Amino acid sequence: MRSAAPELALIADVCLCEYTTHGHCGTLDDAGAIDNDATLPLLADAARAYADAGADVLAPSDMMDGRVAAIRAALDGAGHPERAILSYAAKFASGFYGPFREAADCAPLFGDRAGYQMDPPNGREAIAELRDDLAEGADLLMVKPAGPYLDVLAAARARFDVPIAAYQVSGEYAALHAAAERGWLDLRRVATESLLGIARAGAGIIVTYFALEAAAWLAEER
Ligand SMILES: [Zn+2]
């Protein structure tokens, strides 16, 4: 991708769950619990490898504590001080990830990710996580999912002076598509409205499965 499109900004998602036999985002200790600190050097190594391969932005999505600082140190140490970190800082344990997990076949073999992802009712904890990741050296902050967490997005926008990204996840996308297929909703209209809501709440960057369609719609409107 780097050599095919030198002008493109490349963002690499950094996590371990696609590569662990158990599907969790970190390594496990002897008791079968996530070993936060043992996971950090592995994430840092992965981020450095992506940067070596040409990624401009490294985006850790694992939710381990301390990973932004570990990745920043690894990037700086490997001669990549200019590469940015987009932290999935407020990533909630959400039912809206369902279609992606099905497609990627990456649901954990046992347990779930709720132990390291955030509790949906807890908006203040999200702000604390965002603040911590910023202090560790994150250049951009992400809220995920987007639609059910617009309040967190708006609070993040009001509080922090870095670009705020939002991730409209697979379930948000699939729900609108399914309703449109039944003739209940006008897909272009509601997809646009959902993206506008996310932008209005404060997202300067939106990651969405509607990206290609939305780009065509925007080009048409211009
Ligand atoms: Zn993961």
pLDDT tens digits for range 171-195: 999 999 999 999 999 999 999 999 9
**Hey, what are 130's tokens?**
């965002």
Most confident of 13-27, 103-117, 202-216: 202-216
* Of residues 192 and 117, more confidently modeled: 192
Residues with a known catalytic role? 91, 144
Q: What is the pLDDT of residue 115?
A: 75
**Residue 16 CA to ligand 1 centre (angstroms):** 6
CB 34 within 8 A of CB 63: no
Reply yes or no on whether the pLDDT at 162 is more than 90.
Answer: yes
What pLDDT, in 10s, does the model give residues 46-80? 999 999 999 999 999 988 999 999 999 999 999 99
- Give the count of beta carbons closer than 10 Å to the beta carbon of residue 75: 22
* CA torsion angle 113 10 162 205 (round to 10): -80
**Residue 55 CA to ligand 1 centre (angstroms):** 18
**Residue 2 CA to ligand 1 centre (angstroms):** 24
Q: Look at residues 201, 63, 209 and name the one whose alpha carbon lies nearest to residue 132.
A: 63
**Residue 106 CA to ligand 1 centre (angstroms):** 9
CB 130 within 8 A of CB 86: no
Buried b (16+ CB within 10 A) or exposed e, 147-183: bebbebbbbbbeebebebbbbbbbbbbbbbbeebeee
**Hey, what are 102's tokens?**
């099905």
Reply yes or no on whether the pLDDT at 114 is more than 90.
Answer: no
**Residue 19 CA to ligand 1 centre (angstroms):** 9
Q: What is the mean pLDDT of residues 12-33?
A: 91
**Residue 71 CA to ligand 1 centre (angstroms):** 16
Entry field: residues in the chain: 222
Name the one residue in this structure whose structure tokens are 């990627």: 104
Q: Look at residues 147, 101, 107, 152 and name the one whose alpha carbon lies nearest to residue 129.
A: 152
The CA distance from 160 to 66, in Å, is 19
On the CB side of 162, how many CA atoms lie within 13 Å of its CA? 19
Tell me the pLDDT band of 140, cut-offs 50, 70 and 90: very high
Q: What is the pLDDT of residue 150?
A: 98
Q: What is the pLDDT of residue 177?
A: 96
Tell me the pLDDT band of 5, cut-offs 50, 70 and 90: very high
**Residue 183 CA to ligand 1 centre (angstroms):** 35
The CA distance from 166 to 130, in Å, is 13
**Residue 189 CA to ligand 1 centre (angstroms):** 32
CB 165 within 8 A of CB 140: yes
Reply yes or no on whether the pLDDT at 116 is more than 90.
Answer: no
CB 64 within 8 A of CB 92: no
Give the predicted TM-score (pTM) of the model.
Answer: 0.91
Backbone φ/ψ region at 111: left (φ over 0), alpha (ψ -120 to 50), beta: left
The CA distance from 19 to 2, in Å, is 23
